Structure 1
Amino acid sequence: MDYTIGIDIGTTSTKAVLYDRDMKVAAYANKGYSMYQDTTGMVEEDQEEILDAVISVFKQLMENVDLTYNDVKVVSFSSANQSLIALDKDFHSLTRTQTWGDTRSNKYAQKLKGTKLGHKIYENTGTPIHPMNLLCKILWLKNERPNIYNKAAYFCGIKEYVLYRLFGIWQMDVSIASGTGLYNIFKLQWDPDALNIVGITEKQLPPVVDAYEQFRGMKTEYAQMINCPAGVVFVQGAFDGALSNLGVGAVDDGIVAVTIGTSGAVRVVTNHPIIDTKERTFCYAIDKQHFVIGGSVNNGGVVFRWARDNLFDSEKHTAKFLKVNSYELLTSIASKIPAGSAGLLFHPFLGGERAPLWDANARGSFFGLNQMHTRAHMLRAVLEGIVYNLYTVLLTLEEIIGKSKEIRVTGGFAQSEFCCQMIADIFGKTIKVPKDFESSCLGASIIGMRSVRKTDSLKDISDLGDNPKKYVTNSRNSKVYHELLLIYMRLTEELETEYQDIADFQRKNNSIND
């Protein structure tokens, strides 16, 4: 039996999954790492800690596989998109890893957004002008940290750094490149206009390779540490969101992948780039022949965690004492409240927002709160607000590509039957939830398999997964939700005019992190 491994270098942890020939999970490993938010807008991580996590999960899998009769044939990589590390001429780090959630470059994004040049950059790169992308992050370094910017010989993201440390290779896959805001997705090359804005050359960025690029030769010190078998083929892979589509089999026209983990996203796959004239959606590559169009949101499970930590602290401790999952305890509380939370709405923009607003100044709010509402109502409203926001992303996407035929859901929310039913009711469609919840790891393995087996179709491999579980819309709940959604969307539009002022006030008083 031949094994494949998918390694996903995620925002909060690195996951690794060992799959057998039939794409069944044979072993799983996960290791988290710290996040640094020392100043307003900062969301950084330590790349050395992440490298250690990659080594650790790989090693754990090797300890769980019998190599007497079985071989690991291919290892492929997934990673979070839009991270930035500045390196000196010897490839030593000058910074920690700025994650996609870092908003310190918002001032420079705002100056560029809405201009002719900014629109041209979006049209060329498919990446909305936003603090998440490398274009804005490098602008921030140039203006706010000139000592680092001037020393920087190279710039990369976390996957490129990890692969350089493990293998000594210096390259970036087309998928990660397409999310930088610096890469022309039509010409498949670094964009001269974008590079000119940030004042760097393409020599300061890694050469771009396809997702199927193969390499071997892990450095001896790491190969011995991991007990990595000789002869394993390593494959470059792509970014986690694109790979999630492959992992849930959402590769045909009209099949939409919805991911709700720490953040969230709605995506569809096409065989050519599609740009929204209103700049509401992204268009990123999977490989050089396939693209994902959609929108990512900042506020997924991280908002659920906020509610747990700030509204249900005692229940969190109770769950720990009882040795039960705190999120399962909270969803059981929320399930006692009828759909619609008795008219309580929640805008989940606690960390600014990407799609559909693309506004780092966006802020969260409860609306409709009255004396009859309880903490349980607030909790259910928080969960509904997360899904309402993703539904508005779907509406935007359908405006561009046409009506969706099927919704496939993955991520942490997909592990909760209550949350899955809520998604089906708010979206007003039957949803399918694959059993393999680590869809980015599975997607990475699919890329690896296609690379070594030269399979023509991504769909042929992505259909190998288990039969998904279906959730059918509850028409009564759906009617309630769609009445409230009209209010939710009108209110979102009205509040947009106030986000700048309240965000400026908060920054001035340093009362919260962006």
Structure 2
Amino acid sequence: MDILALDLGTSSVRGLVLDADAVPRPGALARRRVHLVTGDDGTGTLDGPAYLACLVECLDELAAGGHLRDVDLVATSAQWHSVLPLAADGTPSGPVLTWLDTRPEPLAGAVGPADPADFHRRTGTWWHRCYWSVRLPWLREHGARNARFTGLAEYVLGALLGEVPMSMSMASGTGLLDLRRLDWDPEACELAGVRPEELLRLAPDGWHGRLNAEYARRWPGLAGARWAPPVGDGAAASVGSGCVDPTRAAVTVGTSAAVRMMQAVPAGAEPPPLPEQLWRYRVDHNHVVTGAAYSSGGNLFAWANRELRLPEGAALEEALRRTAGSVRANPRLGGDRPPGTAPAGSGELRGLSFGTTAVDVLAGLMQGLCRLVADDLALLEGGVGEPMAVVLGGGALTASPWWRAAFADVLAPREVRWQRNPEIGASGAALVALGRLPEAAHIGGIGRTDETASHA
């Protein structure tokens, strides 16, 4: 049995085939870059139909290569927090607002939760621009007055399968889900201006979908495959990093970055106390993930590589090793993720001199992110009462041994290791779909931060 894993990211869409143990099969990967529209006003949007077309192209490529013949299960890792307005006929009536969009704000005169602390405890979130409680009223005020709303994952999967429910994981990322009851939170829905029955139905435990007739004919190898509910990308990355209990924290750096800890919390059980500065979402019906996220990650390097005259490859790594660390940077170029409210354009550089180089600036930005992670990891540890081991992962850390070493230095004296598998989200989503999440604690590929991917 093979597993098709879909990764619905912010900068790209990927499809890859894994074996029954969630290990990627060589050569069975298709990727398409997607165009993220950004602006100085905080815009961060995607085109829904174009995004769907990229996913279809990936599946066409895998089918043409003969990679879909033995697929029995489809697992999906998808970006949290996205929202897409739909017209009455179900077609998009505007772009997809991604997590990166910082424009939404509470409408004039709007009043937030009656008890913000209890709202945070129930939903794991805040009345914040990242969540549907603020986003839906803002979208209506900006032209989506009569729209229905869905998430990006539900839109693209709905096109392939027919109408799909929203998984508990993706629902928790909207900020409208009661994490204990596993149902839409009435107060959060009121803030969003929707009735629970107007939202997507929630996927029951054990739900699976099937391709609709049109796409089953297009990809006969997937005609009988079961499609599991999507998992939020952060939760999937934590599982793929082997961080599935409070002894390990996952630090993931892809386009953005996050530090997260997972705990077993079955439906109906009261989740553990939640520090006021951290969010909490669902992985599935039986687990939660708690942590902090940042709008900056690999996009720091992408910006520096585009705007500064950086060396390339090994020359850049050598130059980073020679930096004096004189530049101090606030890496919040894209603004804050919740609960922070700083807008896009909040990045800062200090300590510049006539001797400062482009590599010094890059190093300052990368080390600035390391310090943000260290502060929030301390909050996570305060909740569990003891230090945690750390597993680094994600494409940006795969690409930079220097950045892995910088994290290890800032997070010392903790044990810091690295997950060499670059497809942690795909592998994690597959393990959740297989119902084998606890086995991820023993996942392969974790080694020293100075090891290369070829040693996996």
TM-score, with normalisation over the residues of structure 1? 0.80
| 2:453 matched residue in structure 1 | none
Structure-2 residue corresponding to 1:458: 437
Provide the rounded CA distance (Å) in 1 between the counterparts of 2:318 and 2:62: 34
Amino acid at match of 2:383: I
Cα displacement (A) at 1:386: 1.8
Contact kept in structure 2, 1:350 and 1:364, CA below 8 Å = yes
Query: Structure 2: how far apart are the matches of 1:126 and 1:261?
Result: 23
2:407 to 394, 418, 423: 423
The answer on 1:101 being equivalent to 2:100 is yes
* Residues 426-463 of structure 1: CA deviation (Å, up to 9, x unaligned): 1113322223211111111112222xxxxxx5222x25
Instruction: State the match for 2:449 in structure 1.
Output: 471
Post-superposition CA distance 1:91-119 (Å, at most 9, x none): 22111111011111135599767x64444
Q: Give, as a single letter, the amino acid of the residue that structure 1 aligns with 2:402.
A: F
Separation in structure 2 between the aligned mates of residue 73 and residue 411 of structure 1, nearest angstrom: 27
Q: Following the alignment from structure 1 to structure 2, what is the Cα–Cα distance between the partners of residues 172 and 158?
A: 11
Mapped partners of 2:357, 2:291: distance in 1? 35
Tell me, yes or no, if structure 1 residue 87 matches structure 2 residue 86: yes
Contact 2:5 2:15 in 1 (8 A): yes
CA distance in 2, matches of 1:387, 1:226: 44
The Cα shift of 1:179 comes to: 1.4
Residue in structure 2 matching 1:160, options 130, 143, 154: 154
Residue pair 1:212, 1:448 contacting (<8 A) in 2 also: no
Counterparts of 1:441 and 1:329, CA distance in 2 = 31
| 1:389-447 Cα distance to aligned partner (Å, 9 max, x none) | 22222122222233333111111222122211111111113322223211111111112
Counterpart mapping for 1:91-240 below 5 A: 91-108=90-107, 116-145=114-143, 148-149=144-145, 151-152=146-147, 154-210=148-204, 212-216=206-210, 218-240=211-233
The answer to whether the 8 A contact 1:130-1:360 is kept is no
Q: Does 1:388 align with 2:381?
A: no
Distance 1:409 1:55 in 2: 31
1 CA distance for matches of 2:195 and 2:313?
47
Q: Does 1:438 align with 2:423?
A: yes
Contact 1:265 1:295 in 2 (8 A): yes
Check whether the contact 2:36–2:45 (CA below 8 A) recurs between aligned residues: yes
Number of aligned residues: 442
Fraction of identical pairs, as percent: 26
Query: How far is 1:130 from its partner?
Result: 2.4
The change in CA–CA distance for 1:281 and 1:54 in structure 2 (over 3 A counts) is same
Contact 1:24/1:465 (8 A) holds in 2: no
Please give the TM-score of this superposition, normalised by the length of structure 2: 0.90
CA contact (8 A) 2:42 2:343 kept: no
Query: Bigger CA drift: 378-387 or 280-289?
Result: 378-387
Distance (Å, rounded) in 2 between the aligned partners of 1:211 and 1:300? 33
1:363 aligned partner, one-letter code: S
Q: Aligned-pair distance for 1:361?
A: 6.4
Q: In the TM superposition, what whole-angstrom CA distance separates every residue of 1:113-148 from its partner, at most 9, and x where no partner exists?
A: 7x6444443232111332111221112123333xx2
Shift of 1:304: 1.6
CA distance in 2, matches of 1:167, 1:299: 34
Does 1:336 find its partner at 2:322?
Answer: yes
Contact 2:132 2:192 in 1 (8 A): no
Equivalent residue number for residue 346 of structure 1? 329
In the other structure, the counterpart of 1:23 is: 22
Q: Distance in 1 between matches of 2:316 and 2:206?
A: 42
Residues in 2 aligned to 1:401 and 1:143: alpha-carbon distance in whole angstroms: 42
The CA deviation at 1:212 is 4.3
Per-residue CA deviations over 1:453-503 (Å, capped at 9, x if unaligned) read xxxx5222x25643312138xxxxxxxxxxxxxxxxxxxxxxxxxxxxxxx
CA distance in 2 between counterparts of 1:134 and 1:295 reads 18
CA shift in 2, pair 1:277/1:269, >3 Å: closer
State the secondary structure of the residue aligned to 1:40: coil
The separation in 1 between residues aligned to 2:120 and 2:93, in whole angstroms, is: 29
- Is residue 102–residue 344 contact of structure 2 (8 Å, CA) maintained in 1? no
Identify unmatched segments of 5+ residues in structure 2.
266-270, 451-456
Shift of 1:294: 0.4
CA distance in structure 2 between the aligned counterparts of 1:100 and 1:211, rounded to whole angstroms: 26
Whether contact under 8 Å (2:245, 2:262) holds in the other structure is: yes
Does residue 1:405 correspond to 2:388, yes or no?
yes
Comparing 36-45 with 425-434, greater Cα deviation is found at: 36-45
- What SS is found at the alignment partner of 2:342? coil
Q: Describe the shift of the 1:251–1:283 C-alpha distance in structure 2 as closer, same or farther (beyond 3 A).
A: same
* Equivalent residues of 1:133, 1:181 under 8 A apart: yes
Aligned CA distance change for structure 1 residues 71 and 200 (closer, same or farther; 3 Å): same
Shift of 1:224: 3.2
Contact preservation (8 Å) 1:23, 1:465: no
What is the CA–CA distance in structure 2 between the aligned matches of 1:337 and 1:111, rounded to whole Å? 49
